[in-house]
Amino acid sequence: MLRSTRIAIAEKWDEYAHWITLALVGSAILLSFFGTKLVQAATIVDKTLYYGELAALGIAVLHILVFYSFKRNIAREIAAALSPHLGKVPAQAPASNEPYSPLPPDSKDIHFALSTDNSLETVAALNQRGYARTSFEMTKDQIASRNASLFAKNPKVFMLVRNPTRETEKDIEFIGYTCVLPLNSVGADCYLNSLIKDRDVRASMICDPTEQCTDLLLFAVALKDVFAGTKKVAQSYYPFLFRCAAHHVGVVAQAHREKDSPQTVWIQAEHKSLGPELTKRGYKETVKKSADGFILYSRSL
């Protein structure tokens, strides 16, 4: 409180000193101009200029002294002088290194794609709109064909996400989806060594429900364009989408976990802004790049 008051006073003084100095300089210029016109008043003008210059100099010196005085942190100097008697103030606790463990989403907010409803069509529509005009853009038929083959190989790869702020239970609008692929040895070798682009990933590269794996690919985290189009709105929904993605990763990882074998989840950062968001969620930047040219991030499970 005291420091903020001192800063406010210093700012006011700086403003006043500025205007006073300008007034003095302006007066000196005016007097100098009229002094050349009024020779008979030269003595008065000279004296006025002299005292004006002295006043301006005094203001400048006082301004420097006030600036220095308020720049000093008096409280810190007093604390330093008393520190042998007060003892050492403990430093702020370091940031926690606890693993990323987001809250699980409500079961009503997520829906694993099924062959008995229109889930796959919804995923395909979100896929097409979410990645339009990007290096991952594909036609509707290409997306439908690829997604159908991936789903046929493993029915847990696609998960739809509902709007968590919906007003009623009847409002079942899906705002996005996630895709997690349990890579088999061929898939891991091809993808992690930049041998295959996203558009060319095939069902033969992922595990069926009975196989174990050590590498999972967070293949897609997509938000509906109406929510992703505005930065402020997107910032409100993406944390929830990442929570759902983490849940999806956990479900797939558990289904394909080999006893006591470590697992790693991979994701590429197609936007520079995605890197810091992934780092906050426990991912680490690696030296690897996808075949599409983007940095791969990894997280140990």
Q: Dump pLDDT digits (tens) for 252-265.
A: 999 999 888 899 99
Parallel, antiparallel, or unpaired: how do β-strands 264-268 and 215-223 relate?
parallel
Instruction: Say what the pLDDT of residue 135 is.
Output: 82
Q: Which of 115, 114, 224, 121 is nearest to 163 (CA)?
A: 224
DSSP 72: S
Q: Which of 109, 187, 192 is nearest to 150 (CA)?
A: 187
DSSP three-state, residue 55: helix
How far is the C-alpha of 184 from the C-alpha of 204, rounded, in Å?
8
Max Cα-Cα span within the chain:
109
Instruction: Decide if 120 contacts 158 (C-beta within 8 A).
Output: yes
pLDDT band at 156 (very low <50, low <70, confident <90, very high): very high
Q: Dump pLDDT digits (tens) for 72-111.
A: 554 554 444 444 433 343 444 444 567 788 889 999 999 9
Instruction: Decide if 155 contacts 101 (C-beta within 8 A).
Output: no
- pLDDT averaged over every residue in the chain: 80
Ordered alpha helix ranges (H), 229-269: 231-255
Instruction: Say what the pLDDT of residue 68 is.
Output: 57
Least confident of 9-18, 78-87, 137-146, 235-244: 78-87
Cβ-in-10-Å burial (0-12, 13-18, 19+) of 149 comes to middle
